[in-house]
Structure 1
Amino acid sequence: MPRSMHRNKLALAVAMVGAFATSGAQAADTATAIFAGGCFWSVESDFDHAPGVVATTSGYIGGHVDNPTYSQVITETTGHREAVMVEYDPSVTSYETLVDTFFHLIDPIESRGQFCDYGESYTTAVYAGSETELEIAMAEKSQVAEELGKTIATDVEMAPTFWPAEHYHQNFWQSSDQLSNGLTKAQHYARYRAGCGKNRQVEAIWGEDAFKGLDGHA
């Protein structure tokens, strides 16, 4: 975790995330960014294709219940969003680049949720860890509004506590664990993503800039 983010409301999140990181050993000189972009399986799978990203963790953020469970969040009564904490190497990529990438892998115009998922928990946001990051994210949001010529629904705010989701949800998109329906998690995710229409909608909004900054996507 970045030393600059060991403070205030993120202190607990940083302490917790070490046990939940989904790939690789945590490096000493990494930084983090937090994004809510609809289904956290989908956001995690996309950022796992981003250069410089060393780990991703699905979780919950922004609500009024401590250490929420998935079953609580999906009731849409806790105020949480599904979110992903992205750990990255600042010598390879930057916070600004990751925010720009984030906007190009979501529908930033939609205020009700994302793609086939609707409700507060699926709405979009960028959660900054410092005033500098807040300024960067706000500037990126303004740039996106200018590019699309439309009002952007994505919130930009300082990050409250990030709560890692249950182990079951981590790395879901590429897991070979088998579900009760006979599919692996990866197979189930591939069907979900195709059926939800994420790729089609992002491409319809962004054209050639869809999934900008990723080395492929699911």
Structure 2
Amino acid sequence: MAIEKATFAGGCFWCMVKPFDRYEGVQSVVSGYTGGDVENPSYEMVCTNTTGHREAVEITFDNTVISYKELVNIFWKQIDPTDAGGQFFDRGESYKTAIYTHSAEQRRIAEQSKHDLESTGKFTKPIATEIQPAKPFYPAEEGHQNYYMKNPSHYNRYAVGSGREQYKKETWGDLS
């Protein structure tokens, strides 16, 4: 068993937990904040778009069961990678997409995956998702953890109402 971390910012972190939670080899998916310079930021602080942090998920996984490359490919299918201003109706710095890499190998895989995605011709605009070295990750408040399980009806209304689910279906087809 080889345990690793993967960190992805994909807009609202509520919508980024469920897609990874269902895969064998994923041990945990934690909602939180990363990318900024303020220690222990709160949700309220991050929402001001002044801390440099983005809403993100930190995934702990066993790379002998699921590879980092597989996780990156799952990530791409959760977001609009061409949106440089946030995701769906969530706008601003804290909702921008990014892949935060924990090693040179993760960076290589992420860069290759981004290049491959650009090469598909699927998107008419450039891929805006940044690839950056991982910075400290701060878990979000408990109310934000596993939101899709704690508040399923609100989660589903949000995922549909934001346009995320329709975009995913139109862009990638049925992902269930």
Pairwise TM-score range, normalised by the shorter structure: over 0.9
CA displacement 1:27-77 (0-9 Å, x = unmatched): x74221000000001001211123321210000001121100001000111
CA displacement 1:138-180 (0-9 Å, x = unmatched): 00000111112541000011101111111111111101xxxxx
Q: Does 2:5 match 1:32?
A: yes
The TM-score, its normalising length taken from structure 1, stands at 0.76
Alignment partners' CA distance in 2, 1:204 and 1:108: 14
- What is the aligned counterpart of 1:159 among 113, 127, 134? 134
In structure 2, the residue matched to 1:129 is 102
- What is the aligned counterpart of 1:192 among 153, 158, 162? 158
Which has more strand, going by share of residues?
2
In structure 2, the residue matched to 1:96 is 69
In structure 1, the residue matched to 2:146 is 171
AA aligned opposite 1:172: Y
Q: Does 2:21 match 1:42?
A: no
SS in structure 2 of the partner of residue 86 of structure 1: strand
AA aligned opposite 1:61: T
In structure 2, the residue matched to 1:111 is 84
Alignment partners' CA distance in 2, 1:51 and 1:39: 23
Task: Give the Å deviation of 1:128.
Answer: 0.5
Alignment partners' CA distance in 2, 1:51 and 1:154: 26
In structure 2, the residue matched to 1:15 is none
Q: Does 2:38 match 1:72?
A: no
Over the matched positions of the two proteins, sequence identity in percent amounts to 43
Task: Give the Å deviation of 1:203.
Answer: 2.2
Q: Does 2:62 match 1:56?
A: no
- What is the aligned counterpart of 2:115 among 142, 153, 159? 142
Task: Give the Å deviation of 1:137.
Answer: 0.3
SS in structure 1 of the partner of residue 131 of structure 2: strand
Runs (4+) of structure 1 exceeding 3 A deviation are: none
Count of aligned pairs between the two proteins: 174
SS in structure 1 of the partner of residue 56 of structure 2: strand
